Amino acid sequence: MIKPVGSDELKPLFLYDSEQHQQVAKEAKNLSSVIISSQAASNAVMMGGGYFTPLTGFMNVADALGVCENMRMTDGSFFPVPVMCLLENVDAILGSRRIALRDPNVDGNPVLAVMEVRAIEKVTDEQMSLMTQKVYRTIDPEHPGVKTFNSQGRFAVSGPIQVLNFSYFQSDFPDTFRTAVEIRNEIAEHGWQRVVAFQTRNPMHLAHEELCHMAMQRLNCDGLVIHMLLGKLKSGDIPAPVRDAAIRKMVEKYFKPNSVMVTGYGFDMLYAGPREAVLHAYFRQNMGATHFIVGRDHAGVGDYYGAFDAQTVFDEEVPSGVLEIEIFKADHTAYSKKLGKVVMMCEAPDHQKSDFVLLSGTKVREMLGQGIAPPPEFSRPEVAQILMDYYQTIK
């Protein structure tokens, strides 16, 4: 099986040893504590599950700046985005060697992790601006990722962490949330050698489904892992339980039995386009995938990124040799009226735009909200029904 990034084995930060877990949980009750941001909490969940191997905790400012500048920490380790614990106020933890990090997303703010504090640093406006520009390619406060990153505070608290739970993800999505450890184990149980991963924060329409079939066939893969984001999205995006139901129905009806794993991960969307595509490839390698589909405007939002920036970043910015996972670069896929099937648009040079069935997201949402199913060339009827049922509830 493919090795994790920069390591021979996964290094999950969740305390799997029950005795150690109990001991640290007991210790946490008497520690100084702070409620962290949702983004920091989701980073802790990802580190807990082994997705961010070999990180041991939250980055200090020097490491975060290095990652933003050239995807390298000060020790030379590769990572594509800063993983920081940014706070507005640190009065409650000043002078503390170990602190409890409390979950902002669960009632009562239970302790999510315990941190060994190595540094508390003030991040300057210039440093925040630099990091924002490098990661998001913009400092526009209207960009949802920029807005979230810059609203967390200016004190960076760094150090190794020990994770005690997986926030709300394990309880809210028991059938879908999986750690990188669990996905690796399941891939091994299936005996899959070549595995392609598909990232989604949306329900999968016919074009997405066919893209996955296409990738599996062309790459000669044994299995597909549909890996959906379960964390916070921007307003207007379809909630995770609805996406989950729609995707499972599609897999049940239109994929071979035992060829697909439907899973999810606990992370808040960054909308960082190219940099987030690299992060997505990074943790897909850690969960055991050998290939990863990167499509048009992957992880993008609005008009902030070029259509294929998330593909060229792997050739132009990612340091050579740091990733073993292979990128399946996909163009926009759509149903061809001429050919009677879904194709990559770049592979149909004799087509005009009118030869494809193309519907905007806005148009599809309008149709679903009115109880009108999109054409079968766009969406499977079973999937459309689940989405129509959802839109009827939010009228």
**Could you give the residue numbers annotated as active site?**
201-202
Q: What is d(CA 197, CA 285) in angstroms, rounded to the nearest whole number?
A: 9
Q: Do you find a cis peptide bond into 54, omega within 30 degrees of 0?
A: yes
Contact 66, 73 (CB under 8 A): yes
Q: Cα–Cα distance between 335 and 201 in angstroms, integer?
A: 21
Cα separation, 205 vs 202, whole angstroms: 9
* d(C-alpha 333, C-alpha 218), whole Å: 15
Rounded Cα distance between 166 and 125, Å, is: 32
Structure-token pair, residue 47: 């580190």
Distance CA 288, CA 40 (A): 24
Residue 86 bridge partners (DSSP): 156
